[in-house]
Structures are given as C-alpha cells and as structure tokens.
C-alpha cells in the first residue's frame, strides 16, 4: 500500500510540472525552463520549512510566488525570441539554475545540526512531514488537494476569455495582434503562471523525497515537463493528467523490470504520437476567439472600399 501511495505523490508533483508547461504551450511557446522553476520552488520551500520552521502551506505559497516573479523576469528577455532560439534560451536558463544550486551553500544551526543547501551534496533533512506526524496517505491527500485546485483553476481559466486569448496567441500571433492583443503581456503572464505552478510542484517534491540535489533538475526533467502536455494534447488540462499517469505510472514505474529500455520506449512513444496523433491524446480545440481571425484587417477593408 505504501508503494501506491508513494506513486500517487509522484503522479501529483509531475502533474503540476506538466501543467506548468501546458500554460506556456497554449501560447505557442516551447519552454525548457520549467525544470529550473521547479528547482527554485523546491529549494525555497525546503529552506522555509527546514531552516526557518515555517508550515508547509505558506512555504509552498512563498515558493510559488518566488518562482512566478522569477518566471516573469525571465519571460521578458526570453520571449523576444521564438522557436528553436527560445528552446535554447530557456534550456540555458534551466542549466544556469542547476549550476547555481550546485555551488549554493547556506546553512544555519538548528537543534544542534547544520541545516540547509550544501552545494553538490544537496539539501538534506527536509523532514517537515515525518517530524509533524504526517503519514504517507496524508501527504498524498495533501498533494492531490493542491493538484485538484490547480486543475480546477486552469480548467476555469481555459473556459473563460483569458484562456481563449492564450489560445488565440498560440494559433496565430499575427491575427491575435491585429485585433489588439498585446503579445508580450500575454506571453509573460503565461510564463509567470507556469513558473508559479512549477514552484508549487517543486516545493511539494522536495518534501516528499526529503533530500534534493542539483542533478535531479536537469534536461530529462525539462523534457518530461513539455512531454506531458504534448502527449496529452492541448485540448484540455486533463490530457496532461492522462499523460502523467501513462508515462510515470505505466512506463516509468509499471515497466521498471525492463530497466533502461524504458528510456528508449519513452522516446519511441513521443515519436509515434507526433506522427500518428500530432495534437495529442485529447486533441486540440480551437479558440472561442476564432472569429477574431476571420475579421478583415482595416488595411484590406479600406482598400476594397476605395475600389
């Protein structure tokens, strides 16, 4: 039973990681920075609880706000480029964050022990849950309560004008700009929201494993982040959830007996989906603002009126 409860914890934090990339992908941007935001959230939340004795809930909120602000700052210069250059820029940011924590040392004495990040040795003794009597089931329930809240929030956003605007930018930037949408503001807002969600996931992850180090937050984690919404499809937030269950629950944990062949199977799966169902498992739906794209531009309209 403990194994399945632990698996639920993994599925929960990876769902948050995938949702953080989902928001950014809605605007048509492929960001590899989610692992970096996930790492910042993990370290910030861990420092709040382990070093300063803050409760887990405000610690996660602090981590979320911190990563959201960081993502907004990163978003302005990063989103000036598109396509492959954006991938390279955000990947470089993720590696910068990873190497920062590789060299980051800050420890304080608490209960006669030094607690805090210790460079390459990582951050140990993140023990809020066991020290406060939380069982594995309690932790899993806590994580999934947060996941459900985030899922519900994103589902609501996705079905309002805000979600329609995000999709409008992702479908056709030129058409979206022609009807008065500010592309920079929308993209940066999506990046900030995605960063905040990644920070929540990272903060929860740090407390489930109790020991984090820089090597965990590498390219593989960033690849997982964007693979979830791509495999699940951008038609609904629930596609990301299905993809996480399939990849982490079936490929990673269910096929553990085949060893490293799982990595090859994961890559083959992505290639297969891209060729057979490029819009993902749940497909992709058009923006409710699609009527904006059918509007004629003022230049074309005026030209026709003068003829």
Domain boundaries, the chain: 2-218
pLDDT-based confidence at residue 82 (cuts at 50, 70, 90): confident
Burial of 139 (0-12, 13-18, 19+ CB in 10 A): buried
Whole-structure pTM over 0.75, yes or no?
yes
Q: What is the pLDDT of residue 292?
A: 47
CA distance linking residue 13 with residue 24, whole number of Å: 18
pLDDT digits (tens, 9 = 90+) for 224-250: 899 899 888 887 889 899 989 988 887
Count of Cβ atoms closer than 10 Å to residue 37 Cβ:
37
> Is it the case that residue 177 has pLDDT exceeding 80?
no
pLDDT digits (tens, 9 = 90+) for 261-294: 777 777 777 777 777 776 766 666 655 555 444 4
Name beta bridge partners: 109: 114
> Is it the case that residue 259 has pLDDT exceeding 70?
no
> Is it the case that residue 192 has pLDDT exceeding 80?
yes
Q: What is the pLDDT of residue 251?
A: 77
Q: What residues contact 143, with CB distance under 8 A and at least 6 apart? A: 8, 9, 12, 13, 204, 208
Residue 46 vs residue 285, higher pLDDT = 46
């Amino acid at each position: 039973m403990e194994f399945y409860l632990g698996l639920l914890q993994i599925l929960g934090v990876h769902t948050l990681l995938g949702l953080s990339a989902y928001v950014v992908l809605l605007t048509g941007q492929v960001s590899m920075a989610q692992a970096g935001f996930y790492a910042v959230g993990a370290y910030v939340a861990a420092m709040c609880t382990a070093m300063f004795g803050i409760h887990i809930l405000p610690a996660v909120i602090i981590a979320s706000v911190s990563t959201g602000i960081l993502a907004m700052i990163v978003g302005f210069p990063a989103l000036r480029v598109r396509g492959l250059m954006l991938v390279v820029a955000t990947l470089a940011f993720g590696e910068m964050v990873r190497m920062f924590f590789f060299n980051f040392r800050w420890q304080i004495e608490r209960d006669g022990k030094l607690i805090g990040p210790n460079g390459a040795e990582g951050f140990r003794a993140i023990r809020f849950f066991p020290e406060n009597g939380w069982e594995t089931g309690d932790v899993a329930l806590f994580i999934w309560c947060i996941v459900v809240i985030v899922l519900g929030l994103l589902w609501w956003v996705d079905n309002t004008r805000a979600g329609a605007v995000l999709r409008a930018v992702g479908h056709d930037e030129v058409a979206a700009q022609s009807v008065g949408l500010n592309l920079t503001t929308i993209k940066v807002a999506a990046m900030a929201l995605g960063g905040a969600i990644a920070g929540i996931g990272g903060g929860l992850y740090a407390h489930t494993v109790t020991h984090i180090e820089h090597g965990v937050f590498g390219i593989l984690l960033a690849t997982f982040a964007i693979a979830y919404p791509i495999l699940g499809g951008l038609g609904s937030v629930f596609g990301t959830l299905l993809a996480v269950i399939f990849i982490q629950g079936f490929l990673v944990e269910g096929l553990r007996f085949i060893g490293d062949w799982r990595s090859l199977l994961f890559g083959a799966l992505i290639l297969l989906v891209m060729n057979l169902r490029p819009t993902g498992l749940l497909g992709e739906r058009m923006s409710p603002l699609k009527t904006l794209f059918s509007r004629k531009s003022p230049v074309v309209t005026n030209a026709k009126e003068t003829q």
